[in-house]
Structure 1
Amino acid sequence: MRILVSSPAMNVYVRALVTELARRNLLDRFHTTIGFGRRRVRSAPGRVVSHPVLETLRIAAQRLRFGRATRHEIGPLSFDRVARVLDRAVSKNLHSQDAVYAYEDAAQETFRAAKNQHILCVYELPIAYFETVRRLCLEEAVRYPTWEPTLLGTRDSAAKLDRKREEMSMADLVVCPSQFVADSIPKGKRIVVSPFGSPETVQPTRQPDSKGRLRVLFAGTLSQRKGLADLFAAIRLVDRQDIEWVLLGTALMPLDFYRKRCPEFVYERPRRHCEALALMSRCHFLVLPSIVEGRALVLQEAMACGLPIIATPNTGGSDLVVPGKTGCLVPIRSPESIAEAILRLADDRHLLEYMSEQARRKAAEYTWSQYTNRIVQAIEMQVSSPPSVR
């Protein structure tokens, strides 16, 4: 069996899949934007095809703050254009592989060409299907109008939405990282749910102070898609001086925007993965009240660092939460529930210590080997099926 993989980004789950396919000698080619330097896949020499020009220019434009060039969808160096150009290039490089494996917004032309050659089309959706994302984000724009600029899911053009629909319609198999994502997929699609793996258990460089101020972490893009406005409302309800609120992630608005709504937090800029894990290990627990995700990797990263989690079902991490052991599951759009969960952990340091160890153990149950095995088995089953059954 030969599988061609295409992805404009080199995320940890893309790397895990490509590495395992290469190890099993199933990888035909991996097409990406930049497949060298830090993005190099060492286990796949000679099988990585890079298309670096546009992505290199896009990264440079971002660093130089050329906002017009990278503007959502319409900028000549937007990520959407990078994805479309890669998709077009890959569509011209199919030659009777058994399967092509592609991701949202970068699969349309590849799948069209694959269908003409009777090649299996596998579509990984790391976040909920766009109809769910769009509906929830539009509702949030009504709840919190001033946060609308942080809800990028409300701004996709009709052409982009049509592209997503066509990609999904052509997919023979859809790979989802959580049941939450699977539940958002149109009826009648073949689906495999394969949760992401966790990093190896992280030994803290410095234990959080068990008697000093409690350090509560939020990690992710500072947006209302991640439920940040609800967390700010919960912080006001908690109103405790013995808690330090730490926000780690990319700010989509000037920091003054966030400070006006919650002046108490400590802001930590994005950093290298190992440095982010080190920062996590110096906190006591993670709060992620997301409105819509796919499978928030940060949950498992935090748990591997020994942090219990407070999360919504829409993070895609319901299976990670064992009440009283690994964390608390709270409804979306409920600052009161978030505040209650925070206070429950803040007022019982002994429980927090117990949950810290349980969180590490739970995170260790999810491996990248399991993630890739489920996917490969599902593809093998589909490839062996007659085309009329797919």
Structure 2
Amino acid sequence: MPSLLLTHPAGNQNVRAVLAATEEAGLLARFATTVAAFEGDAPSRMLPGALRREWLRRRFDIAPAKVITHPAREMARMLAAKAGWRGAVRHEAGFASPDAVFQDFDRFVAGRLPALAREQGMAAVYAYEDSALHTFRAARALGLKCIYDLPIAYWETGRRLMQEEAERLPEWAASLGGGVTDSEEKLARKTEELALADLVVAPSSFVLDSLPASATRVRRVLAPFGSPASRVVDEGSFEVPDGTRPLRVLFVGSMGQRKGLADLFAAMRLLAGQPIELVVLGSMQESPEFYRRQCEGFRHEKGRPHGEVLALMRSCDVFCLPSIVEGRALVTQEAMSQGLPIVITANTGGADLVVEGETGFLVPIRAPEKIAEKLAWFSQNRRELPAMKAAAMRHAAGYTWKHYGELVVHAIRELI
């Protein structure tokens, strides 16, 4: 059977889903990553509790013999981040910056590919944005198919939207992230990665629609991410929120305008005096004083283990994420799985998660007044919340990681 090399420099939930699906389908030849942990290996036996848990976050449920690692640069990044060595991890420039890790890993995989292709009889490589260029070049030279996983909107769309935000809200410009300041060299790499691809895997229609006209020849597959497993309950399991307490609206994400936080803050200013509380869980990109000037009364929650994040979600009433650019914000499905109806933009990549008036509402980007209108509706129609909470849970449960993996595997088989 034709086989596949799957590569990713770190590993996350969607990578693990592709890994499991290709292994189950008998397609996986090898998985290449930077750092891989295995239950019972030396670090997991020797490291103390907190460090051991951190190490095991890089665990992959696959035979160690199938895993190829290239750990040095990523270990340097992890150490520099822990030690606070900002220069070492500075965007693009640092020796241990994420971009440097990705490029170093990409070159390593490309160097190993000719021997792997001969040994395994491989037909294709599967790589992710920013770590695919050298791998795809080597694959093309060997006559292998190139599968490109694009987890966020294509750079041209993202950059345009972020530049527009920097002009619209200059005080938030520094919070927009690296996409606005990416070098021309990095953008050229992204462009060539897509040009070399035979198949693009995308988690949302928003990502697919962001592809340029030059990519019309490339095959595409839409594979929405899965939701966390949860017990779906009926509306009788939820109480109508007490009208004597504020409606709790939750935002989760990096506290910048790529996530639309400025627009949510503006909506809260429009709602001043109404019984609505905004809870923000995320890392600050600016000083606390900056955020308080934007929205004085919000409640900030620091990062915490995933189980505690889910518990915080259950303590809230509505989830709001008015993002400007995403791929598919997994946090939306996490919130729905805990019984939160949603107010989101299509640019979150989750337009299909909204059944209007049942699981939540879709709002335009850059529309604080529309956000305010929907949040006010929830506050004024609290009796609707139990049914909407149950509907959100049911709808989110329809998206599984198994189905995600099956969609990817089907597209790979059609390609090779």
- Residue 115 of structure 1 is matched in structure 2 by 140
Describe the shift of the 1:30–1:59 C-alpha distance in structure 2 as closer, same or farther (beyond 3 A): same
List structure 1 runs of 4+ shifted beyond 3 angstroms.
206-209
Match of 1:192 in 2: 221
One-letter code aligned to 2:307: C
Aligned 1:51-200 pairs, distance under 5 A: 51-94=70-113, 95-96=116-117, 97-152=122-177, 153-187=179-213, 188=216, 189-200=218-229
3-state DSSP of counterpart to 1:39: coil
CA distance in structure 2 between the partners assigned to 1:75 and 1:160 by the alignment? 14
In 1: Cα distance, 2:387 partner to 2:273 partner: 23
Instruction: Indicate the residue corresponding to 2:259 in structure 1.
Output: 226
Aligned equivalent of 2:384: 351
Taking the aligned partners of 1:214 and 1:63, their CA distance within structure 2 comes to 37
The separation in 1 between residues aligned to 2:240 and 2:61, in whole angstroms, is: 40
Structure 1 stretch displaced more, 252-261 or 228-237? 252-261
Amino acid of the residue matched to residue 401 of structure 2? W
Q: 1:22 to 1:210 in 2, by over 3 A?
A: same
Q: How does 1:248-287 map to 2 (within 5 A)?
A: 248-287=281-320
Q: State the 1:35 CA deviation.
A: 1.4
* CA distance, structure 2, for counterparts of residue 202 and residue 222 of structure 1: 30
Deviation at 1:283, TM superposition (A): 0.9
Q: Which amino acid aligns with 2:196?
A: M
Q: Secondary structure at the match of 1:276?
A: helix
Q: Which shifted more, 133-142 or 33-42?
A: 33-42
1:295 alignment partner, one of 319, 328, 346: 328
The answer to whether the Cα contact below 8 Å between 2:21 and 2:409 also exists between their aligned partners in 1 is: no
Q: Quick one: structure 1 residues 72 and 202, their matched pair in 2 at CA, closer, same or farther if it must change by over 3 Å?
A: farther
SS at match of 1:295: coil
Look up the match of 2:13. 12
Q: How does 1:328-339 map to 2 (within 5 A)?
A: 328-339=361-372
User: What TM-score, normalized to structure 2?
Assistant: 0.89
* Contact preservation (8 Å) 1:247, 1:267: yes
The residue aligned with 1:387 is none
Look up the match of 2:41. none
Secondary structure of 1:122's match? Answer: strand
For the 8 Å contact 1:19–1:44, the answer to whether it is kept is no
Structure 2 counterpart SS, 1:340: helix
Counterpart residue type for residue 128 of structure 1 = A
Q: CA shift at 1:252, angstroms?
A: 1.6
- The Cα shift of 1:141 comes to 0.1
SS at match of 1:283: coil
Report the CA distance between 1:293 and its aligned residue: 0.6
* Distance in 1, Cα, partners of 2:91 & 2:239: 40
1:31 is paired with a residue whose SS is strand
Name the CA distance, whole Å, in 2 between partners of 1:12 and 1:256: 35
SS in 2 for 1:98: strand
Following superposition, the deviation at residue 263 of structure 1 comes to 1.6
In structure 1, what is the equivalent of residue 28 of structure 2? 27
**Cα displacement (A) at 1:56:** 1.8
Cα pair 2:77 2:98 within 8 Å, conserved? yes
Alignment of 1:365-384 (within 5 A): 365-383=398-416
Name the structure with the higher helix share.
2
1 CA distance for matches of 2:212 and 2:159? 15
User: Structure 1 regions of 5+ residues with no counterpart?
Assistant: 384-390
For the residues of structure 2 that align with 1:142 and 1:191, how far apart are their CA atoms?
Answer: 33
Q: 1:58 to 1:158 in 2, by over 3 A?
A: same
CA separation of 1:48 and 1:254: change in aligned 2, threshold 3 A: farther
Give SS of 2:195's match.
Answer: helix
Q: CA RMSD in A?
A: 1.6
Measure the CA separation in 1 of the matches of 2:172 and 2:86. 20
Q: Does 1:317 align with 2:341?
A: no
Cα gap change, 1:254/1:65 in structure 2, threshold over 3 Å: closer, same or farther? farther
| Offset, 1:207 | 7.3
Would you say how many aligned residue pairs link Structure 1 and Structure 2? 382
* Aligned-partner Cα distance in 2 for 1:116–1:176: 25
Q: CA deviation digits over 1:168-197, x for unaligned, max 9?
A: 000000001000100011231211111001
Query: Does 1:210 pair with 2:241?
Result: yes
Kept in 2: contact 1:215–1:243 (CA 8 A): yes
Name the SS for the 2:212 alignment partner: coil
Query: CA contact under 8 A between 1:207 and 1:282: conserved in structure 2?
Result: no
Q: Distance in 2 between matches of 1:214 and 1:102?
A: 43
Please report the TM-score for the alignment, with normalisation by the length of structure 1: 0.95
Name the aligned partner's letter for residue 61 of structure 1: A
- SS of 1:192's partner is strand
String of CA shifts for 1:329-381, please: whole Å, max 9, x gaps. 00000000000000011111111111000000000111111111111111111
- Report deviation, 1:208: 8.2
Native 8 Å contact 2:354 2:361 kept in 1: yes
